[in-house]
Structure formats: C-alpha cells, structure tokens
Structure 1
Amino acid sequence: MSESIVIVTGGALGRWALAHIGPDDVLVGADRGALFLLRNGRRPELALGDFDSVTAEEKEDVRRGSAMFVDCDPVMKDWTDTEMAFNWALERKPRRIVMLGALGSRFDHSLANVHLLRKGLERGIECSIVDGCNEVRLIDREATIVRAGYTYVSLLPLTIDVTGITLTGFRYPLVDATLSIGQSLGISNELAGETGHIRIRDGLLLVIQSKDETPFDGS
C-alpha cells in the first residue's frame, strides 16, 4: 500500500488543486475533472464518467490525452462519476486517496462524496477530500491533526452518536465527550499549537479543517 491516488472530479476547481498533486501520484479524472487535469499539463491514468459536462470536442481531447478512457451511459449507470472513480481507486489498494473537486455547488453530490470516506475507512485506506479552504477526513479511533495552514478544526458525527471524544492540544479541549447528530458543539475549534490529537471510543467522526478565504480563481 505505497501508492497515492488523486481523484479530480467536476466540482469547484482552481489552480489551488495543483498544489495537492504530487509527482508520483496516480491521477484519475472523473468527467470534467479529467479535462481540468489535461488543461493543466497532467495526464490521467484513468478518465471515466458520462462526460455530460464537457463538449464533444473536449470529450475527444480527454479520450486522446488519457492512458485509459471509460465512457459510461448517463442513464444506465448506478453510481456517480466520482463514486466510480473512487471504487476503481479502492480496488488498487493504495496507501491513500485524495479527492479534489469533490465539493461544489451541488450539495447532494458534495454530501455523497463525503459519505464515500466511509468506504475508504472500512478498507483501512487514508482518504480525504480537499478544496481551497477545507480538508475533510473520517476517523473511527484516533488521529493527529497538523495545522497545515488551516485556522479551524470542526468535528461532526457521521453516526447518530460518537462517544469517548478526547481532544488534546486544542483551544477547547474535550474529555470523554459525546457528540450527537444535530449538535454544533464541535464546530470551529482551534489548535493550541501546530498539532493536536483526537481520540474516540465509538462511532464515526468527520474531522474538517478549514480557513476563511475565497480560493476559487476560476482557472
């Protein structure tokens, strides 16, 4: 599990995304995300989707510019383009999966993409969703949080309850606390230093690092 896979999909994208692509990352473009990669000098290992958000000419550019190309019927497919890309990445058993462009104006797609993190957690693969202002992860035991340019750390349960939450190195610590769906207690915490630690006893907890900026440059 040494491989790192970056999935670029068709949500909000800008030049900020390029900073999250390493030289050895395996690149997957889902729908318009594949076009974004090509226009920024990156060749997708795989481009897939129904390509309903690109023109016929752009689709042909993606076909020619990608190592592998999978064209899906937009009516008959059961999964979103992002989930198909994510499933492909899971089968390769990588060390980590990063999703770029997985958040955007379509809240239904954004929320569905956040839910994909559970599939990665169940496989023991480090997964995250990153945009210009946020990094989203899902944990079921513990995690070390690094500031990495973010201002806030918010905790939101993905199960009905998350119990035994203990925070160290945070401005607002918790000891053996419980967060339930519908509470905002975990919003906008901050690290006291450069790192902090989260430990939980039971449940699934979304860890969202964020900052107040306008990152989307339209490129």
Structure 2
Amino acid sequence: MKTVVICAGGPIDELAPLEPYKLSDEVVFIGADKGSVYLLNEGIIPTVAVGDFDSLSSEEFLDLTNRVASVKVASVDKNETDTDLALIHSLDFDPQQVVLVGVTGGRLDHFISVLNSVYRFQKDNPGIQFIVRNKWNEMRLLTPGIIKLTTNPQLPFMSFFAFHENVEEITLTGMKYNVSNETINIGSSRFTSNQLLDEHGSISFSSGICLLIRSSDQ
C-alpha cells in the first residue's frame, strides 16, 4: 500500500514509532517544519520538507537544506499551516494512505486545526485513508459505507463520534456493544470505549462522518 507519512513538530514524547515505516519501500516521508528534524534524527531522509521552519535553529535549518533534496520554504505569514502544506504535497505521490504523526500533544489549537484539516482532506479525497497516530492512539475519519475492523491488541478500545454532522443508520457487528441502524448525534458520547470480541468486526452507516479513535490505557 502506497503510504505517505507526514511528521510534524509536536511533542516528541508522543511521536508514534517510525521504525515500521522505515522498512517499507512503499513509504514516502514528508517533514513538516520541526518534524523534518525529528525524521533526520531517526535516520530518515524525508523526500520533501515543507513549512516556514520558524521553529528550527539556524544550524538545524542548514543541516536540513544540506541533507534533504526538496525543501519548500513558506512564508511565516500564510493562510495554511505547515501540516496543511504537507497534506497538499502528500497528494502528489498518489497515496492510498496518509499517516500523520507528531500532530498531537502540545497546543490544543494546533490539534483542532489538524483535525479539521484531516476532515477536509478526507471529504475531498475519499479514496485515500487519512490516519492520525501517536504512541497510544489512532484516529480516522470514516465516510459512509461498510468498513471492516480488525483487532489490534495494542489499541484494544474503539470509540465512535459524529464529526461535523450526525452519523445515520450506524450498525456495529462483532463488538462488545453491537448496535443496528442507530444514530450518533453530534455531541453524543454514548459510543465511547467499545471493543472487538473477535479478530474481525465491522461498522456501516449511510451518511455523515464518523470519527473512529482506537486507543489503549498505555
């Protein structure tokens, strides 16, 4: 599966492990601002580095420009965030999946901005799977249809939320708490902390955007 991994500059102690992605020939890395330095420190040369790079020291920026073939410097005074710019460039690689790391923790306004950007890109590109990951959580925005769910012992809990609009005719199968043709209303927390009972299950719904968070108790 062609995957683009975007690494942003959030708190490094929340950064999802990058080692599994380093082993694949089908992964492209994009560094967003300080995330470019995180990648270099992990022994990963990003294909593209984007941002205004205002969080880098002069030494870090010089090292970045010496080691990364494509460094796209944006103005500090811009309408897009650095992560937005990385998402835009991710589409150039025709990915099936875009994974964002380094976007959680730290400033809450930054995280809400990322969440809304992922929502926009997922709506505009339904054939691409956009995923946010950190050490203990994975977040996806699901579009209508039938989505197969597979157990992950490291992230056993699943929570479902309506995002921007109600989720209609939701059916959950193979779960500890199954439902059939119900609605997740905006603001509802009823569908928090479910679990798969076996290796596989599914979620289906007819309209809306469903925020799926898979998590652990660390």
TM-score, normalised to structure 2's length? 0.91
Question: What is the 5 A alignment of 1:192-207?
Answer: 192-207=197-212
The Cα offsets for residues 45-95 of structure 1, whole Å up to 9 and x where unpaired, read as 0011111212111111111111200111212x1100001000111233211
Q: Which residue of 1 aligns with 2:180?
A: 175
Q: CA RMSD in A?
A: 1.5
Question: What is the 5 A alignment of 1:59-98?
Answer: 59-75=61-77, 77-98=78-99
Return the letter of the residue paired with 1:31.
Answer: D
| Deviation of 1:16 (Å) | 4.2
Return the letter of the residue paired with 1:100.
Answer: V
Q: Which residue of 2 aligns with 1:3?
A: 2
Q: Which residue of 2 aligns with 1:139?
A: 142
- How many Å separate the matches in 1 of 2:105 and 2:193? 21
State the identity as a percent.
32
Question: What is the 5 A alignment of 1:1-219?
Answer: 3-14=2-13, 16-22=16-22, 23-24=24-25, 25-75=27-77, 77-118=78-119, 119-123=121-125, 124-141=127-144, 142-148=146-152, 149-213=154-218
- How many Å separate the matches in 2 of 1:102 and 1:171? 30
The Cα offsets for residues 7-63 of structure 1, whole Å up to 9 and x where unpaired, read as 001113347421342432111000110000101110010011111212111111111
TM-score, normalised to structure 1's length? 0.91
Return the letter of the residue paired with 1:19.
Answer: E
- How many Å separate the matches in 2 of 1:112 and 1:20? 27
Return the letter of the residue paired with 2:98.
Answer: I
Return the letter of the residue paired with 2:168.
Answer: T
- How many Å separate the matches in 2 of 1:106 and 1:17? 21
Query: What is the total number of aligned residue pairs between the two structures?
Result: 211
Maintained 8 Å contact 1:44/1:65: no
Task: Indicate the SS of the match to 1:176.
Answer: strand
Maintained 8 Å contact 1:90/1:120: no
Q: Structure 2: any 5+ residue segments left out of the alignment?
A: none
